[in-house]
Structure 1
Amino acid sequence: MIDIDILEANINKKKIDNCYILAGIDEMLIKEQINNLINTSISEVARDLNIIKIDGMKLSSDVFMDACETLPFISEKKVVLVYRANFLKDSLDNENKKRFETCESYIKSTPDHCILIFYYIFQDKREKLSERVKKLDKSCTVVKVDKLKGEKLYKKVSMLFLHREKEIGKVELKYFCDNVENNMEIIANEVDKLINYTEGRNISRKDIDDMLPYKSEEDIFDLVDFISQKRPEKAIELMNELIFKGENIMVVLSMIERQFKLLFNIKLGMSQNKTKEIFSRELRLPPFICERLMGQSRKFTLKQLKNCIELCSNTERVLKSSSLDKKTEMELMIIKTVI
């Protein structure tokens, strides 16, 4: 198993293997590395004719085998890219077990003319590489795509501003990186917003404060995830951390209720076969955020979500109309969500 740094070094040396599995929480970073692999392996002239993309959620044996076995056209190599390869995770239904079995033999003996690339996205920051992928590490190159941190993140974000022909001071750059959610798609969106907001002038710390979204949203996602796992003690621990950091209890409650309402609407939409692209347009959220919400909504029934929303509303009324200890009432609410 290797990381991004080793993969980039290998690509720069044009040391390209026949099969890759990439996994991590930041889809934009993963796609960037895949593009680097493709651009190094196939000339621009032949690229369109020698890249086959397959949705892993719909992968069929015939389509996959045909894609792998067909020879490249006016090129030594072709790329078969399987995105949303969730059949590489550990918990599988029968359909995904079949998909894994179909791909396993090719992962272990990829044809010389083919560069086979699989990738899937972690649902949250606690997810680890699956045991299936770890066992395949001897047969292909497994790349764990971790979030960028420290100087690597500062350099990457600095390049985003540079490519958009906007200067940002070192102090402001560090402050921006330290306060934005560490996800390259979100960062790219926030960079664009900040540039548009400060058109014709230098970026200040106040501009960054004005434009960045509420940073605790990721913690609320994790808190609700603990509820879905029936681990109220962890959810309470995270809530207490937010309060200790200075978050207002009523704001935390409001954000928890908003999350449950989002999940309820997502769950309803999925029953109507809505996709992440449709949710993205309707909710005005990035597609990858919608995909994460879809994943989290699967952990609840509609009845459970409705009950959680009612619990939040009832707790809000209690907190506003009584002198009871707010923190205790919040803890009781969280416990009730898993009963």
Structure 2
Amino acid sequence: MINYTELEENIAKNNIKNVYIMCGFNEKLMKESISKILKKSVNQDFESLNYSVFDGNEVEFQDILNACETVPFMSDKRMVVVYRAGFLSDNSNANKNSDKLIKEIDKYVANIPKHCILIMYYVFDNAREKPSYRIRKFDKKACVVEFAKLRGMQFQKKVKEVFVSKGKQIGKTELNYFCSKVENNMDIVYNEIEKLCCYTVEREITKEDIDKLLQPNETDDIFNLVDYISKSKPEMAITVLNEIMYKGIKANSILYMIERQFKLMLSIKIGVENRESKETLIKELKLNPYVCDKMINECKKFTTKKILKSLEICLNTEKELKSVSGDPKFKMEVLIINLAII
């Protein structure tokens, strides 16, 4: 199994396989990679005759077989894409013939004609989902590509490419700031960049533009919550908590993000005490440079002992949330008060 970056490198080197199984949360990146493979492999003048696309919720094996076996016209290759191939999920109800379809495809991929490139992709239901057993079974017979979330410098590099593709330059500081504010989902990234480009027209993008057009994301909310805790302002932290919960985010998810924030702070605190450079921390922790700066400053408000104690309180709250009785919101409010008075 390879990742998005390795796939991009292979495409650039014309190292293109006959069968790809793609999966992940970022459908936009999958579609981009498919377009790049198409441009590299199929004669653009005869693309409509050598490119077949099928809906994974309705496709039959015979459709795939007929398309793959058809000899390309005025091109060395033809390409067949099955999008939203829900039958690749272990819990698939999207295609009533899922089991039969998987078995037939499994047998066929080993003998697929050399003139054909077959690509099937499945979009995860959420960012935490992992490649299914069905997908992993194809790993030795096809090129399986997991489109995990891009992080750190990889995410920043991709975002910059999108700005450039729109004919828009953005300064390094503004790019870092944008990446720290936008949700890590390429569909959303494209929409937000489009809004910024339309809003700023020919002038340079500023941090004020980004603040004006982008909605605060969950990471910002959690950072603000922890910041209020560090300032011993539990009432303000609880206000932020109420805003997050009003958005429909569950207590367990909020607690997970708070724990993650403290774990990152502990890693940064230890790194700074060991005189590791900011660049090293960014690389090791896969952080956006702007976020790393903010967290280094935030760490100055906490001792290592206080961070460890905060994590202990979070773990105790996690146990309480898993119990049946009690109001989750009340337990989160108690957590914030306990963290603020350490």
> Which of the five TM-score ranges fits, normalised by the shorter chain?
0.5 to 0.7
TM-superposed CA distance for 1:242, in Å, is: 8.7
Question: How high is the TM-score relative to the length of structure 2?
Answer: 0.65
User: 1:117-132, aligned counterparts within 5 Å?
Assistant: 117-132=119-134
Within 5 Å, give how 1:35-74 maps onto structure 2.
35-74=35-74
Distance 2:245 2:225 in 1: 11
Task: Please give the secondary structure, in 1, of the residue aligned with 2:97.
Answer: helix
Query: Is the Cα contact below 8 Å between 1:50 and 1:73 reproduced in 2?
Result: yes
Q: Distance in 1 between matches of 2:110 and 2:223?
A: 46
Contact 2:181–2:220, Cα closer than 8 Å, also in 1: no
1:177 is displaced (CA, Å) by 0.7
CA displacement at 1:180 relative to structure 2: 0.3
What residue is the counterpart of 1:32 in the other structure?
32
Structure 1 stretch displaced more, 115-124 or 142-151: 142-151
Equivalence for 2:141? 139
Q: Structure 1 residues 108, 330: closer, same or farther in 2, change over 3 A? A: same
Q: What is the CA deviation profile of residues 212-247 of structure 1, one whole-angstrom value per residue up to 9, with x for unaligned ones?
A: 12312999xxxxxxxxxxxxxxxxxxxx99954646
3-state SS, counterpart of residue 36 of structure 2: helix
Which residue is equivalent to 1:90? 90
Change (3 A) 1:210 1:102: same
Shift >6 Å, 4+ stretches: none
Tell me the distance in 2 between the aligned counterparts of 1:218 and 1:88: 35
- Aligned residue in 2 for 1:270: none
Aligned twin of 1:79: 79
TM-superposed CA distance for 1:14, in Å, is 1.6
Query: Which residue is equivalent to 2:15?
Result: 15
Structure 1 pair 196–248 and aligned structure 2 pair: CA distance change class (3 A): same
Does the residue aligned with 1:137 lie in a helix, a strand or coil? coil
Checking the alignment, whether the CA contact within 8 Å between 1:76 and 1:113 is kept in structure 2 is yes
Give the residue type in structure 2 aligned to 1:73.
Answer: F
Distance across 2 between alignment mates of 1:7 and 1:164: 23
Say which of 100, 103, 109 aligns to 1:101: 103
Aligned residue runs from structure 1 range 184-199, under 5 A: 184-199=186-201
Q: Residue 138 of structure 1 aligns to a residue in which SS?
A: coil
1:251 to 223, 243, 255: 243
Alignment-derived partner of residue 225 in structure 1: none
Q: Percent identity?
A: 40
SS in 1 for 2:75: coil
Distance 1:218 1:19, change over 3 A: farther
Over the aligned positions, Cα root-mean-square deviation in angstroms equals 2.8
Secondary structure of the equivalent of 1:119? Answer: strand
SS in 1 for 2:7: helix
Per-residue CA distance 1:164-207 (angstroms, 9 max, x = gap): 23332110110001110111121111011112222353322121
CA 1:14–1:244: 2 relative to 1, 3 Å: same
- Check whether the contact 1:249–1:326 (CA below 8 A) recurs between aligned residues: no
Structure-2 separation of matches of 1:61 and 1:167: 46
Instruction: State the distance in 1 between where 2:246 and 2:56 align.
Output: 37
| Number of corresponding residues | 246
Change (3 A) 1:125 1:39: same
Determine the C-alpha separation between the residues in 2 that align with 1:156 and 1:198: 21
State the alpha-carbon separation in 2 of the partners of residues 12 and 253 from structure 1: 44
Aligned-residue offset at 1:5: 2.4
2:304 aligned residue: none
How big is the shift at 1:326?
Answer: 9.4
The SS at the match of 2:68 is helix
Partners of 2:328 and 2:69 in 1: CA distance: 63
SS in 1 for 2:201: coil
Task: Tell whether the 8 Å contact from 2:54 to 2:81 is kept in structure 1 after alignment.
Answer: yes
Between 240-249 and 88-97, report the one with greater CA deviation.
Answer: 240-249
- TM-score normalised by structure 1 residue count: 0.66
CA displacement, residues 101-125 of structure 1 (integer Å, 9 cap, x when unaligned): 2322222321222111110111111
Higher mean displacement: 184-193 or 91-100: 91-100
Larger Rg: 2
Q: Which moved more, 1:202-211 or 1:149-158?
A: 149-158
CA gap of 1:136–1:206, structure 2 versus 1, over 3 A, is: same
**Structure 1: how far apart are the matches of 2:152 and 2:6?**
18
Change (3 A) 1:79 1:218: farther
Contact 2:43 2:74 in 1 (8 A): no
Can you give the 5+ residue segments of structure 1 that lack an aligned partner in the other structure?
220-239, 258-324, 332-339
1:150 aligns with 2:142: no
Q: Unaligned 5+ residue runs, structure 2?
A: 228-236, 250-326, 334-342
Partner Cα distance (1:126, 1:162) in 2: 30
